[in-house]
Amino acid sequence: MTERAQRIGPAELLARLARGDELVLLDVREPREFALGALPGSRLIPRGELAARVAELDPERETVCICHHGVRSLQAAAFLRTRGFRCVLDLAGGLERWALEADPLFPRY
């Protein structure tokens, strides 16, 4: 992978989850946003807390960073790569795009 975080689209993520791929789903939104809806199995570490809590994550596990529109998750993915995480993906378009393309029942806000 290049130094920039790689992106994954909603359809590909949905397919990988359906296959049972072992992915860490790292939701970097705020707790109030997470309470509105989150992907099953997601782990919440708000973007502003990530630097202080990065040791809670395994740099050897494939990690997908998730937020509302994809901006904070892209920043989080890039940050994790600077900390030695080798396989980090950003959910392109965030949960807004997920709701539009992968799960129309997912809450939008």
Which residues are known to be catalytic? 67
**Quick check: helix, strand or coil at residue 37?**
coil
Contact between residue 22 and residue 28 where contact means Cβ atoms under 8 Å apart: no
Give the residue ranges of DSSP H helices in 1-82. Answer: 10-19, 31-36, 50-53, 71-82
